[in-house]
A and B are shown apart, each in its own frame.
Chain A
């Protein structure tokens, strides 16, 4: 092992039933560097982190650490801490009701007694040396989220860590707080700690990191020095599209040609919710398919959730068919003919223990109201119709939806909303985590529905899906709408450029 390398992961394999999550991934971390681990959802970042921290056991491969002659075996988070690997997660894993010092030292030693005076003094010293604006005896809950994040880091540092993993630490911080956190990271870098930084924010990567490792589909794409990898190329590598891959995919479906084509179905102005997005304007026409694009965490879902009233709307105006409407609850949106297929299928979509039939009729039923239940016979009719139409693979309409595969669950949720015959359908990541066949089915269906006059917003992490279906794309970065592309502009390159933002001239490379 070279002198300045603290961590080396070689030929890491990890599989789950039916999925190869990691295939021969290599990863090297040097002393005193901040190393970004990049990749879209499902690329294998979190699996790699979990293998490293002992949450998962690897199937194959070796992990070498500085100071150990042989490969180390890490079987539990405690093992990882013992050999000097500490992790700070996106959700703060501290106890807000305890003091800062307690959070830094609790659970680390055995025995009954504790010299709190010494601990408070030690904690204060450490906090000061790391420039963390908190005092040892303060209650953690009274610190800002950023400071809490820093306290978690301080705890990790105090445990003599050589490798510090920061798993999306910045997603709930504002700009100033991020700056503070970066200050701390640079400070640690000076002290020789190797930092693995996982984030979705490109700006932050280019601000603070030294090197980048990119993963895609469980495989290593490559490791690069930051100065050798311009943004556009990074995005291309993450999405798996080379720059010269210019093949222009045009919509194949029939285009809606009714009289009212081109009239706005929904217009939103300065819409903003409490989920942390900047106010945005938006419109969609009759029979149009448009999409929100941007990397994960850029605020795509938050925008459509605001339109549907799923988050608390705090400002802005919405017009449906040219008339002002008030949408603050999902039911109001539904009554105006909006349907929303949520991003998180498990958490927000399926009602797990209920049957496929009940899941299909749920939305229509709430629209019909409490005193007009859909009869069992009618429910079966609807269910059978849509099971056939969407080719849902289920034993029967009475099967609990949780026992279906992901793709079939998604089809059931889609059926639920199609059954309400909406004017405007929002599909948030309908193709995530489902098999390829179903992905194609869903895209075809989107084009067919649009041809029949439905307005559809389609969100996907996979750009080529968006290119195939959408005629207009709203581009988002860091929770802001940063551009809109349509017609000729709809190319991989253009999208990547707009997502990457900033140094546009790199695109012409």
Chain B
């Protein structure tokens, strides 16, 4: 008897293990989207080699678009996951941060002349200065959250309000245009390579964060602070410093995303650039199965979540949904997601499950 029961339980348990894995949620969402598109229109997945306007052979197709356009989001998801884990809240100023760092990069590249003949400084210098600006923004948020103990979303509200204005102020509201050249490679393609560069940058960031997590104790410290601050302090950690650090790392991610964004158009539109990206980044973290209240995190799942969102966006575009109506659909997804993961709803569902399991057994007894 017992043996039979054990055999019966094993596939259930395997199921449970798969379902219990955090990364299962974004994978399931991705599979669902793939399936949907396969049924509706299999040509969605077609990838063809074409020649672009500069005469370079490039791969095109919806899948390539997803990998290309999802890069910024994937990079932001890395930092946002860390901030969420450590501080138990989210940064809503990342879009504004991208505007600031992008604006600073353009200011360095173009100098005072909005339409220079050649770039005025090496790209690496521009990027480093932009990175510094974004890290400063992160430090400002981090200080408010960690030291002044203001809720993360409210603290980052300040930069959310001011960010785009600051970005405009950096270039005196002019729209500098970077002269054609290697700068456009970061958001486009490098001649000879048929895959868009942002994808490689995103991969680079992922490798970098993987190395950081392997060769430092960032992961352990962040989770520990996010789960139990008091206990972490008694184990010699400095929760304030770690929260601060998480925001600064997010700042670096913002700068990289900003570089890709401004490189795509070689210019900037202060009020439109990376608009609403904070919402998508938070959504990516949530889709990755990470608790928005902090604690344990899984960056791979968040990154996958980011690509799921891009997949959703591309799918919606294909059905002729206008870009400014997109938020309405995404908002519905968010609400469904948070309601499904709300503790009270889960409790209720668990109660229901128990009742359903208990009832038949009661009948047997009766």
Contact = CB atoms under 8 A, between A and B. Distances in A.
A342 B232 contact: no
A356 B232 CA distance: 15
A330 B228 contact: no
Interface string A92-110: 0000000000000000000
B217 A351 contact: no
A342 B234 contact: yes
A352 B228 contact: yes
Given A365-B217, A370-B217, A330 B235 contact: yes
A354 B224 contact: yes
Nearest to A367: B236
A330 B227 contact: no
A353 interface: yes
Interface string A355-380: 00010001101110111110000000
A350 interface: yes
A369 B241 CA distance: 14
Nearest to B215: A373
Given A353-B296, A370-B217, A371-B216, A347 B230 contact: yes
Contacts of B227: 351-354
Contacts of B215: 371, 373
Contacts of A369: 217
Interface in A96-134: none
B231 to A, nearest CB: 5
A358 B228 contact: no
Interface in A327-364: 329-331, 334, 340, 342, 347-354, 358, 362-363
A347 B233 CA distance: 11
Contacts of B218: 370
A349 B231 contact: yes
Contact of B220 (A342, A349, A362, A372): A362
A353 B295 contact: yes
Given A331-B238, A362-B224, A370-B221, A351 B232 contact: yes
Interface in B7-47: none
Interface string B199-238: 0000000000000001111101101100110111111111
B236 A363 contact: yes
Given A334-B236, A353-B296, A366-B235, A348 B230 contact: yes
A354 B223 contact: yes
B226 to A, nearest CB: 9
Contacts, number: 75
A334 B234 CA distance: 9
B223 A353 contact: yes
Contacts of A350: 228, 231
Contact of A370 (B216, B224, B233, B295): B216
Contacts of B221: 366, 370
Interface residues of B, number: 22
A348 B231 contact: yes
A145 interface: no
A342 B217 CA distance: 23
A310 interface: yes
B236 A331 contact: yes
Interface string A361-401: 01101110111110000000000000000000000000000
A365 B237 CA distance: 10
Contacts of B214: 373
Contacts of A358: 220, 223-224
Contact of A310 (B216, B223, B234): B234
Contacts of B223: 351, 353-354, 358
Residue from A330, A349, A351, A372 with most neighbouring chain B CB atoms (10 Å): A351
A369 B232 CA distance: 14
A409 to B, nearest CB: 12
B152 to A, nearest CB: 20
B228 A351 contact: yes
B216 A330 contact: no
Nearest to A400: B296
A144 to B, nearest CB: 25
Residue from B215, B228, B234, B237 with most neighbouring chain A CB atoms (10 Å): B234
A176 B228 CA distance: 37
Given A353-B295, A371-B215, A330 B224 contact: no
Contacts of B236: 329-331, 334, 363, 366-367
10 contacts: A308-B234, A330-B233, A330-B236, A347-B230, A349-B234, A352-B227, A354-B227, A358-B220, A362-B224, A370-B216
The 3 A-B pairs at the shortest CB distance, nearest first, are namely A331-B236, A366-B236, A373-B217
Given A342-B231, A351-B224, 11 more contacts: A310-B234, A329-B236, A330-B233, A330-B236, A342-B234, A351-B227, A353-B296, A362-B224, A370-B221, A371-B216, A373-B217
